[in-house]
Structure 1
């Protein structure tokens, strides 16, 4: 079931009727109009979080899955053999990437070739953006997702069941790179450098994933999986009541692959066999996950797994996510299950779609606890 904005409005009406002092839509609008985000609330000294951040008691929104007490952990894959051009090690890495993509949908990579300096500078750049003067930040605050740099709190503020304890910025860096003047000076140079590093590494990962599917190394890139890239910088302020809200609600990603850099604080969890598994921060590592569109074109061979971020009294938590997708950019490319992977025993499980159609559905639905991918099943 997909929760629509109408459903949320009905919910808001019910809440307003039962509690005349609480009008959800008015409070959402008031929060949005501050243009100061969640950080603005923390800076004001609040000790109780506003009701718009409270998680609803809805089983499909945040289910009752338990945090795993087992030693199960997301695979960590050393890419040294690929970086060094070691053919024997490359074969082993391809096997491990394939296994992780099929059973976990997530893996961490080390020795990926990106200098530690670049990783530290992008985290510093993201932190620097959010911690600069609020009047400077406000100039970039917008809900127009077609702009080259978009800063706001919760892209789905008006449609999701609850507001996440997180501020974000997004910059689309490919296929049409932003002009330098479009980016904030505090993080401009490192955003350009980091995006070049992410594109280079993303193409390497797409080669490994192609080979893991039994395809030519260039297959995924040749059909457009590396055409688009956008960078998200997330800022999770410390939360006075983390048990009442989420940093990021349960969801799967609306792209081909995501390359995530997280800081030392932690809080990322993935849903594996109905158990929440922590993805612990590893110094210098990147977290890689399969997105919805790669699950669709691999016909469920690779899994786009739901994940979430817990709110915490620790903070701020910084993360930088690189999404491979052209998002809402109008292109004529159609994506469906890859023909070479289909057979009489493995017919297509999804209908064909464009990235524009998929992403518009995803954005309009918001993080409501349901998977956008289910809407495209045959």
Structure 2
């Protein structure tokens, strides 16, 4: 459903202004007892289709004994490589993040989002330079007035020093602890992904793939009309790698062979998602997948994403990323031009969102 006149658009903008000024997020709308989805959240009807697990199952990689020199190392490399090459999304078990940490992280993010709105309002901001910010909903694209059905607390763990007191007290200690575990896991994964490309283990680390990350605690209130809106629209992740912690309600879906497939939560597992920049530098060996998070009547639901990306200093340095030279040759020249992360995010990625194609298409030689 789309606005058909300037008056419709004005109404949407007024609704959005009122929504932002409330600083209460999507949860604030639900708390007043709505039975209809407000106009600013309505999209075309969402088809919640899926194929059965007997036709396709999301890859699961057991990282146990993945250290160099141990017997399963080659098997683990092969599992990660195959999943990254064929699907672009997989789950990992035996990742060495304690169950206690996973449980407490989800509980703490739920606790933050269920604070009184007056307390959360202190963190409410749409300023992308702010290191800790709470925001209600997200635009599906810069050109759109339609928003997604979720609230997020984002914590930039890498752009300059993040002082503990900047984090909300209710989730402060566990966010810092979980962030350290997630970074350690990302280093393991980047080493395995490097070896899967036939490179030295530290190759991707040397490209600063694990230097910076953002922690986003997402809260999805129950939706009265889930067929009209979406928690996170169809997209591909921009950066190198995402590590996602889900609760026990299935809502994440992968687009595989033109069908939406549920990514069922596995107790203790984490979802790993390949981003556009890893596809770019791996010369299309690894693929960035298309996925979404559907709205549901069940809830509230919680997830925590760790997005491994550039650090602030690299934006000013304008580092250019391009296909790794060791993966190209005269017979197989690079098919993508190099780009800085900032140019890609503000240019090609946005064009892709608007036109419904991967942003990498605009970088092809």
What TM-score does the superposition give when structure 1 sets the normalisation length?
Answer: 0.89
Query: Is the contact made by 2:348 and 2:362 (CA closer than 8 Å) also made in structure 1?
Result: no
1:30 to 18, 21, 25: 18
Q: What is the CA-CA distance between 1:310 and the residue it aligns to? A: 0.7
Distance 2:151 2:347 in 1: 22
Q: Find the aligned partners of 1:181 and 1:340 in 2 and give their Cα distance.
A: 44
- Alignment correspondent of 2:303: 319
- Aligned match of 2:118: 135
Corresponding residue of 1:164 = 148
Structure 1 32/375 Cα, relative in aligned 2: closer, same or farther at 3 Å? farther
Deviation of 1:198 (Å): 0.7
Cα distance per residue 1:13-34 (max 9 Å; x no partner): x3445x69x7222222221211
Cα 1:46–1:170 change in 2 (3 A) is: same
Once residues 331 and 45 of structure 1 are traced to their aligned partners in structure 2, the CA distance between those partners, rounded to angstroms, is 49
1:126 aligns with 2:109: yes
Q: Aligned in 2, Cα 1:125/1:326: closer, same or farther, shift over 3 Å?
A: same
Q: Does 1:375 align with 2:362?
A: yes
Superimposed CA distance per residue, residues 346-378 of structure 1 (whole angstroms, 9 cap, x where no aligned partner): 221211111222233378669554433323222
More off after superposition, 27-36 vs 255-264: 27-36
- State the shift of 1:228 in Å: 0.9
Secondary structure class of the residue paired with 1:81? coil
Residue ranges of structure 1 left out of the alignment (5+ in a row): 1-10
Distance 1:134 1:178, change over 3 A: same
Structure 2 match to 1:113: 96
Closer/same/farther in 2, CA of residues 331 and 127 from structure 1, 3 Å limit: farther
Q: Partner of 1:271 in structure 2? A: 255
2:269 counterpart of 1:281? no
- Give the number of aligned pairs: 360
Aligned partners of 1:187, 1:373: CA distance in 2, in Å?
A: 36
1:209 and 2:193 equivalent? yes
Unaligned runs of 5+ in 2: none
CA–CA distance in structure 1, aligned partners of residues 12 and 157 of structure 2: 35
Q: Does 1:91 align with 2:74?
A: yes
Q: Secondary structure at the match of 1:107?
A: strand
Partner of 2:132 in structure 1? 149
Alignment deviations for residues 323-346 of structure 1 (CA, whole Å, 9 cap, x no partner): 110266433321001000012332
Q: Which residue of 2 aligns with 1:5?
A: none
Are the aligned partners of 2:138 and 2:148 in contact in 1 as well (CA < 8 Å)? no
Q: How far apart in 2 are the matches of 1:119 and 1:362?
A: 35
Farther-moved stretch of structure 1 (279-288 vs 367-376) = 367-376
Kept after mapping to 2: 8 A contact 1:156/1:367: no
Q: Does residue 1:185 correspond to 2:169, yes or no?
A: yes
What value does the CA root-mean-square deviation take over the aligned residues?
Answer: 2.3
